[in-house]
């Protein structure tokens, strides 16, 4: 066994498919620098696609869930490798694209997803138009050594679009840190570069980079990550087909790498169970800000306001000091909006909902729907009625600060908003158990459905959350709302 097998694994990190450990510059000979990762990652593309990439499936699924990837989402995966993440996004209904430096891995990705727009290229020069995507993902493909990629990501994201990226976290403290040790068998210069790559997972570092690159609502999320292998030999093959594995092979030779890796894994064999390595992984969700001067919705305001619309404008000015984007949108038929809210008032009284109850129902439902407008507006109301932490928790799916009755409300609201056809009597039971009668349960459900309907109209017609929400909403709530359309930019010095 190699003498350095017990070296500190936190000194390096494994690059994703789009990044091999090479220094920036012209590359080797006439080969452009961005093409060099194919040497390590592409040389055993079938092994990489079948032995290594499936180990990342928890990572892909978790981030797609956070990003609310679904039907109609236009998604780009940067450093897409063999395209498993693209395939999974497509399975969720997304229209997917991907780019990777390895032509051999992209060939596998195209075989898996023939309908996706998959290209070989440099992630520092993305070959798509401005604003082409709703979501951009990168799974350990953007590092501390490639910050310039983020400018390109922002360019191809629509205003309000989301970036989801992952990086290694505190690897040294991970139960499965042993599984990364073979990558330390590379020479010292490559290990030093990998340490620089891996800096984004440190507390505050990734957030600072993303904010500095112009992203907003940056949020760090925990991502479950586990490598599992049938036996030491399959583990060794999976490590050998990676970019950093190839660099270690260049230092010690392929057969020695395979032998030493298998010997290392043999120490972790469990009878009747797969080899298992849990490794700390960090996810970041960040939003591309709205464009200054962008219209507040897809509809122009009526040239002449009806008496009802004029009254609604005056009410907004008196209560808020400005006219809401939603009011301007609904001014085309203000009576329809008033009818909706009259019905909301009726079911609110039937159900006996307090402001705090309504805040929980709205934030749980609209965050599930992916509507930022009502999530921000009602997130602020819930923060005032409860606390900033309660509001942020409900928005991110954490109900630990709610009591039993409130948890029942939040969970039911999410079920109704997510898929009303999938609910069962068991989903209704918690509402009965906390004391709600049948008429109240109907009223609660109608309240959620009407709020979803209101949000759906606003979102479909491009209603941008009012810029005033940036300053009137608690920071914890702003940080929790990393989905949907971005609030309008703050007014400049020349704005009225």
Q: Residue 281 to residues 171, 370, 439: CA-CA distances in angstroms? A: 8, 25, 46
Give the percent of the chain with pLDDT over 90. 79
pLDDT at 407 over 50: yes
Per-residue confidence (pLDDT) for residue 295, from 0 to 100: 75
Per-residue confidence (pLDDT) for residue 31, from 0 to 100: 61
Encode pLDDT of 25-64 as tens digits: 344 455 666 767 788 788 899 999 999 999 999 999 999 9
Per-residue confidence (pLDDT) for residue 199, from 0 to 100: 78
- Quote the mean pLDDT of the chain: 90
pLDDT at 172 over 50: yes
Provide mean pLDDT across the span 84-90: 98
Q: Are 139 and 114 in contact (CB under 8 A)?
A: no
pLDDT at 5 over 50: no
Encode pLDDT of 329-345 as tens digits: 999 999 999 999 999 99
Per-residue confidence (pLDDT) for residue 8, from 0 to 100: 37
pLDDT at 212 over 70: yes
Provide mean pLDDT across the span 411-438: 97
Give the alpha-carbon dihedral of 87, 88, 90, 96, to 10 degrees: -70
Provide mean pLDDT across the span 126-152: 93
Residue 112 to residue 231: CA distance in whole angstroms: 26
Confidence of residue 195 (pLDDT cuts 50, 70, 90): low
Buried b (16+ CB within 10 A) or exposed e, 227-261: bebeebebbbbbbbbbbbbbbbbbebeeeebbebb
Per-residue confidence (pLDDT) for residue 194, from 0 to 100: 64
Name the token pair of 82.
């063999």
Checking phi first, is residue 131 left (phi over 0); if not, alpha (psi -120 to 50) or beta?
Answer: left
The least confident of 42-51, 86-95, 262-271, 482-491 is: 482-491
pLDDT at 3 over 80: no
All domains in the chain, ordered by first residue: 3-287 (3.40.50.150), 307-480 (1.20.1290.10)
- Sheet-wide strand order for 157-168: 117-120, 95-100, 74-78, 133-139, 157-168, 281-287, 216-223
Provide mean pLDDT across the span 10-18: 38
Provide mean pLDDT across the span 382-399: 97
Per-residue confidence (pLDDT) for residue 188, from 0 to 100: 78
pTM, to two decimals? 0.80
The least confident of 161-170, 176-185, 425-434, 487-496 is: 487-496
**Pairing between β-strand 281-287 and β-strand 226-229 as defined by DSSP bridges:** unpaired
**Which has more confidence, 397 or 197?**
397
Give the percent of the chain with pLDDT over 70. 90
* Count of C-beta atoms within a 10 Å radius of residue 83: 28
The least confident of 201-205, 232-236, 267-271, 444-448 is: 201-205
């Amino acid at each position: 066994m190699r003498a350095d097998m017990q070296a500190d694994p936190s000194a390096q990190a494994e690059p994703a498919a789009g990044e091999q450990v090479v220094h920036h510059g012209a590359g080797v000979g006439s080969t452009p620098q961005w093409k060099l990762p194919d040497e390590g990652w592409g040389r055993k593309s079938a092994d990489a696609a079948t032995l290594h990439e499936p180990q990342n499936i928890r990572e892909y699924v978790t981030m797609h869930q956070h990003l609310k990837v679904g039907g109609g989402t236009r998604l780009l995966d940067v450093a897409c490798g063999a395209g498993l993440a693209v395939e999974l996004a497509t399975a969720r209904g997304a229209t997917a694209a991907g780019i990777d430096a390895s032509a051999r891995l992209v060939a596998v990705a195209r075989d898996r997803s023939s309908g996706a727009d998959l290209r070989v290229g440099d992630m520092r020069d993305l070959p798509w138009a401005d604003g082409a995507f709703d979501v951009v993902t990168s799974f350990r493909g953007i590092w501390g050594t490639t910050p310039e990629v983020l400018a390109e990501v922002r360019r191809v994201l629509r205003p309000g679009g989301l970036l989801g990226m992952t990086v290694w976290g505190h690897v040294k403290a991970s139960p499965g840190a042993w599984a990364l040790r073979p990558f330390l068998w590379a020479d010292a210069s490559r290990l030093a570069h990998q340490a620089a790559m891996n800096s984004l997972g440190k507390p505050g570092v990734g957030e600072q980079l993303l904010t500095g690159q112009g992203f907003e609502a940056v949020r760090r999320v925990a991502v479950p990550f586990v490598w599992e292998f049938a036996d030491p030999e399959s583990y060794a093959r999976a490590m050998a087909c990676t970019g950093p594995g190839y660099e270690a092979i260049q230092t010690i030779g392929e057969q020695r790498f395979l032998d030493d890796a298998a010997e290392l894994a043999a120490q972790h064999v469990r009878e009747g169970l797969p080899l298992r390595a849990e490794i700390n992984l960090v996810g970041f969700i960040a939003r591309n800000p709205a464009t200054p001067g962008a219209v507040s919705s897809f509809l122009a305001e009526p040239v002449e306001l009806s008496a009802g619309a004029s009254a609604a404008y005056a009410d907004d000015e008196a209560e808020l000091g400005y006219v809401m984007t939603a009011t301007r949108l609904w001014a085309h038929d203000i009576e329809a909006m008033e009818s909706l809210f009259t019905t909301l008032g009726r079911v609110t009284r039937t159900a006996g909902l307090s402001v705090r109850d309504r805040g929980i129902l709205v934030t749980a439902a609209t965050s599930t729907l992916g509507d930022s407008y009502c999530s921000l507006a009602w997130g602020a109301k819930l923060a005032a009625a409860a606390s900033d932490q309660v509001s942020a928790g409900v928005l991110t799916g954490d109900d630990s600060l709610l009591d039993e009755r409130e948890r029942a409300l939040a969970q039911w609201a999410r079920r109704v908003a997510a898929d009303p056809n999938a609910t069962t009597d068991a989903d209704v039971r918690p509402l009965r158990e906390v004391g709600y009668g049948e008429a109240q349960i109907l009223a609660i459900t109608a309240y959620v459905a009407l709020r979803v309907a209101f949000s759906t109209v606003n979102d479909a017609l491009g209603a941008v959350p009012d810029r005033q929400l940036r300053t009137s909403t608690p920071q914890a709530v702003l940080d929790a709302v990393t989905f949907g359309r971005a609030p309008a930019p703050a007014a400049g010095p020349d704005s009225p």
